Amino acid sequence: MNTEKKHNLEITKAKESKIDSVDFNNLSFGRSFTDHMFSCDFKDGKWQVGKVIPYSPLTLDPSARVFHYGQAVFEGMKAFKDQDNQVWLFRPEDNFNRINISAARLAMPEFPKEVFFEGLTELLKLDDAWIKNTKGSAMYIRPFVIATEPAISASPASEYKFMIIMSPAQAYYAGEVRVLIATEYSRATDGGVGFAKAAGNYAAQFYPTSLAHKEGYQQIIWTDSSAHEFLEEAGTMNIFFRINDTLITAPTSDRILDGITRKSVIQLAKDNNIDVEIRPIKVEEINDAAQNGSLKEIFGSGTAAVINPILGFKHKEFKHELPKQDAPYSAFFKEKLNAIQYNLAEDPHGWRYKI
């Protein structure tokens, strides 16, 4: 294989592409990966040269700390191709900043911005053919950092790997989503790591979510761990409530992820004269609004689904189906966001990033 040097990068191209083995009309989320990946090692106290290399398995000692102590963080981002085949990212600096915020909370070293953007750009250029410009298609991008040092003492590692892998994605349809409001299990707590995209936050939700599935609910809206009185987030999505014509979402905190789609929705609401309140939301308030008919919509926001309308919820013994809206906010925000992402609309806030 030929290795090329470019600024802060070493680039080794795959001998052949596996793109023909992928059915782009039947993609299962996060199961197919492109021909290349980005990899950069931290050792001897610093990040080494970043490498764009053929997508390939990792070889790690069984004592690598990521296997034992969950020292791992990640991000989720998307690249979009417009009708002129130009590729765009959406607010990638926010993802970059957040992975370093997550890393700091897990005592992991900060990654340099320049190397991240050079690596990601090179990766998107090499695997450009994997990004389709058909409606709803996107490239899901997964940066992640793992502790690789081979030693099982319970302390921060001295060696890490920063990686970026990419998976082509179709328009995301999560199916019909109804949610259970948490009354027993918890996702996060004050002084914990709930605000970080820390690997362990996700595994901790799998079992309670599997119990919700058995009752017919696809996701959980997590509540405060002290009294389960306040609505927080859904683990892979932030949550918005529409009461009459006002949009309400919980404030970010050390328990709640500072979602990039969340803050884009808030900005778009302001731009479009939709009242938006960022404040603690009592479960009781939502139950009351459901009963008196003022609760019009609930939807989630996140990178994978962009906006995910929620059809109904259950809290303790109270079950509620949301009414159908003629012009739902969820569809409005999804369309507005997609239009910016696919370069079909003006971008007044400079959210698009050209590759």
- Shortest Å distance, C-beta 165 to a copy of itself: 5
Q: Which residues, 6+ apart, have CB-to-CB distance to 28 below 8 Å?
A: none
Residues of this chain, 44-83, that bind a copy of itself according to CB under 8 A: 55, 57-63, 66-72, 74
CA atoms within 13 A of residue 347's CA, in its CB half-sphere: 16
- Shortest Å distance, C-beta 154 to a copy of itself: 5
Residue with tokens 């328009």: 171
Minimum CB distance to a copy of itself smaller for 200 or for 280: 200
Minimum CB distance to a copy of itself smaller for 220 or for 322: 220
Interface pick for a copy of itself out of 112, 136, 156, 312 (rule CB under 8 A): 156
Classify each residue of 218-229 as buried b or exposed e, where b means 16 or more C-beta atoms within 10 Å of its C-beta: bbbbbbbbeebe
Minimum CB distance to a copy of itself smaller for 163 or for 289: 163
Interface pick for a copy of itself out of 2, 210, 273, 292 (rule CB under 8 A): 210
Sheet strand arrangement including 312-315: 219-221, 178-181, 312-315, 318-321
Rounded (5°) CA angle 258-339-267? 35
347 to 104, 265, 329, 340, 353: CA distances (angstroms): 32, 14, 20, 6, 10
- Shortest Å distance, C-beta 64 to a copy of itself: 8
| 139 touches a copy of itself (CB under 8 A) | no
Contact status, residue 227 vs residue 190, Cβ threshold 8 Å: no
Residue with tokens 């919509």: 297
DSSP three-state, residue 75: coil
| 308 touches a copy of itself (CB under 8 A) | no
Interface pick for a copy of itself out of 18, 142, 314, 319 (rule CB under 8 A): 142
Binding mask 80-99 for a copy of itself (x = CB under 8 A): --------------------
Interface pick for a copy of itself out of 52, 179, 180, 193 (rule CB under 8 A): 193
Closest C-alpha among 326, 292, 329 to residue 310: 329
| 105 touches a copy of itself (CB under 8 A) | yes
| 252 touches a copy of itself (CB under 8 A) | no
Binding site for a copy of itself (CB under 8 A): 28-31, 33, 37, 55, 57-63, 66-72, 74, 104-107, 142, 144, 146-147, 150-156, 163, 165, 167, 182, 184-193, 198-204, 206-207, 209-210, 225-226, 235-236
